Amino acid sequence: MKHLHASCESGLVRVPLIAVIKHTGTNRHNHIPAGAECVSPEPALSLSKGRKSWVDCRDSPSPEGTTQFFSDLLEPSTRIGNFLFLLTMCLIVLLAAPACSKQKNASAETTVEAPSANSASTPAPATSDSAAPPSFDSSRAMQYVKEIVAFGPRPNGSENHRRVEKYILSHLKGLDVEQDDFEVTPSEGRFPIHNIIAKFPGSKDGIIVMASHYDTNWPLRNIPYIGANDGASSSALLLEIANQLRGKKLEGYSLWLLWDDGEESMRLPWYDPESLYGVRHLAQKWQDDGTLKKVKAFILEDMIGDADLNIDRIIECTPWLEDLVLDAATRTGYQSHFFARQISAEDDYRPFEDRGVPSVDIIDFEYGYNNVFWHTTEDTVDKLSPKSLAIVGTVTLETVRLLNQR
C-alpha cells in the first residue's frame, strides 16, 4: 500500500467516544508517537465529570431524611429566627433534590453508552441481536501465510506470481470463480494482471466485496522480499474466510472475495499511474456493467498479521462503515486493537471510495517501530501472529453480519 502521512487532523469528532476511553485507559499504544496526540481528551473529561455528578447526587440526603432531621431540631424552645432559617434551608434542599436526580439520570445514560475500558480484553456479553462470534481457524490461516511466502518474491510477471495465482485458485475449486485478466504497460514493460474473485451468493439483493492484494513490489524483485504481512497475511485471511463460507447458504448480501493484483507501485517511491492496477480496472469494469451500484461495502484487508496489532482508522474511508467495524470489534471483545490512531493512507479501496462505494481499509500501518519492517526483507512470518489473523477475521465476519442487519 501507499502511505501519505500519519497526522493529527482536525476531524477529531469522528473518533468515537469508546476509542477515546480505550486510549486514555491503557498504555499499550504509548509506543505510537503520532497516535498519542491524535485523540481529543474532551469526551473522556466530560464522562468523568458526569461520574462525579452522579457520586455527588448519591451522597445528598433524601428529602424524607432531611425533613426528619430538621423536625428533630424544632423543639418548643427554638427561636423564630432559627425556625425561618431552617425552613428556608429545607425548601432549598427539597427543590435541589429532583434536579440532582435528573443530573444523575443524564450521567448514567452517558455511562451506559460508553463501554468500559475493562471490557477490551473480554468478549462482549451476548445481546438479543448478537449471534455467537463468527468462527475462524487462525492456525489454518497462518499455514496459508507460510505457504504463500514459501514461493518467494512474487512480483508481477514472475514465475512465483503465477505459482501463487495457481495456489489461490487451487483453494477455490468448486466455487463460482471469476478471473479478471488483462495487461498493463508501465515504463518497465508489459505485465499480465490477474484479479481473482470468488462469489458466494446471498439471499439479499446486493454485494459485499472483501479484498486483498497478493503481489509483491516489482522494484524489490531482486532482494528476498516476501511480503509476509504486506500481501500474504490478508490473502491467507481471505482463503480462510472462503473455507468458512463454503457450502453455507448466506442469509444476507452476496459476498465476493477479491484477490486483487498489481497493487504495488512499479516504481519506488510510489507512482500513482503505475499502481493499484487490479482494483482500478475492476472498479471501472463494474461501473460500466452496472455491478458497482449493487456493491454495498468494500472491505479491504492489508497488513493485518502483525503480532502487535493496532488497526488504524483511515481518514479518507467511509466514517459510518468504520464505525460499524468498531462496533463489530467491540461486540467481539477486540476493540483495544482498533482505531487508537487515525491516519491518512492511499490503498486499494481508493477507486471504489472515489466512485461512491462505502469503503473501509482494515490496516495496521505501524509494522515494527516507525513501520520499519514495511517493504523490507524484514517483512517475514516471525513478526506475525495467528491471534492477529483471528482478531481481524472475526471482526470482519462480524462486520458483515452487522451490514446484513442494516
How many CB atoms are located within 10 Å of the residue 82 CB?
Answer: 12
CB of 227 to Zn ion, least distance (A): 7
Identify whether the C-beta of residue 302 lies closer than 8 Å to the C-beta of residue 375.
no
**Contact present, 146 and 229 (Cβ < 8 Å):** no
Minimum CB distance to Zn ion smaller for 230 or for 366:
230
H-run or E-run covering 338: strand 338-346
Taking the least distance from each CB to Zn ion, the nearer of 230 and 261 is: 230
For Zn ion, what does the binding mask look like between residues 3 and 32, x meaning CB under 5 A?
Answer: ------------------------------
User: In the complex with Zn ion, which residue's Cβ is closer, 226 or 282?
Assistant: 226
Cβ distance to Zn ion smaller for residue 1 or 255: 1
Residue 167 identity: Y
Q: Does the footprint of Zn ion cover residue 165 (CB under 5 A)?
A: no
165 vs 379, beta carbon nearer Zn ion? 379
Angle between helices 138-149 and 386-405 (to 10 degrees): 120
Nearer to Zn ion, 165 or 230 (CB): 230
Q: Give min distance, CB of 164 to Zn ion, in A.
A: 15
Stretch that binds Zn ion, among 23-31, 169-177, 230-238, 279-287 (CB under 5 A): 230-238
Decide whether 230 or 240 has the Cβ nearer to Zn ion: 230
Residue 116 or residue 377: which is nearer to Zn ion going by CB? Answer: 377
Q: Of the candidates 165, 215, 230, 274, which one interacts with Zn ion according to CB under 5 A? A: 230
Angle between helices 17-25 and 319-331 (to 10 degrees): 50
Which stretch in 30-38, 152-160, 226-234, 329-337 sits in contact with Zn ion by CB under 5 A?
226-234
Least distance in angstroms from the C-beta of 354 to Zn ion: 20
Q: Does 348 bind Zn ion (CB under 5 A)?
A: no
Exposure class string for 94-132: b at 16+ Cβ within 10 A, else e: eeebeebeeebeebeebeeebbebebbeeebeeeeeeee
> In whole angstroms, how close is the CB of 123 to Zn ion at the nearest point?
32
Contact flag: residue 361 with Zn ion (CB under 5 A): no
- In whole angstroms, the minimum distance from the beta carbon of 272 to Zn ion comes to 14
How does strand 338-346 pair with strand 295-302?
unpaired
The answer to whether 61 touches 379, Cβ cutoff 8 Å, is no
Beta-strand ranges (E) seen in 228-294 are 250-260
Rounded-to-integer distance, Cα 239 and Cα 140, Å: 9
The helices-and-strands tally (H runs, E runs) of the chain is 12, 9
Contact in structure between 355 and 283 (CB atoms under 8 Å): yes
Part of the chain binding Zn ion (CB under 5 A), chosen from 120-128, 181-189, 223-231, 338-346:
223-231
State the minimum distance, in angstroms, from the CB of residue 230 to Zn ion: 4
144 or 225: CB nearest Zn ion: 225
> What is the closest distance, in whole angstroms, from the C-beta atom of residue 268 to Zn ion in the complex?
10
Residue range at the interface with Zn ion (CB under 5 A); choices 37-45, 71-79, 227-235, 305-313: 227-235
Q: Which amino acid is at 110?
A: T
Contact (CB, 8 A) for 241 and 393: yes
Report how far residue 159's alpha carbon sits from residue 167's, in angstroms, rounded to the nearest whole number: 12
Distance CA 183, CA 193 (A): 6
Is 364 a binder of Zn ion (CB under 5 A)? no
- The label of the residue with cell 447458504 reads 249
Region of 104-112, 155-163, 190-198, 224-232 interacting with Zn ion (CB under 5 A): 224-232
* Closer residue to Zn ion, CB minimum distance, 279 or 295: 279
Per CB under 5 A, the segment of 18-26, 225-233, 265-273, 283-291 that binds Zn ion is: 225-233
Q: Which three cell numbers stand for residue 145?
A: 501465510
Contact positions toward Zn ion, by CB under 5 A?
A: 1, 230
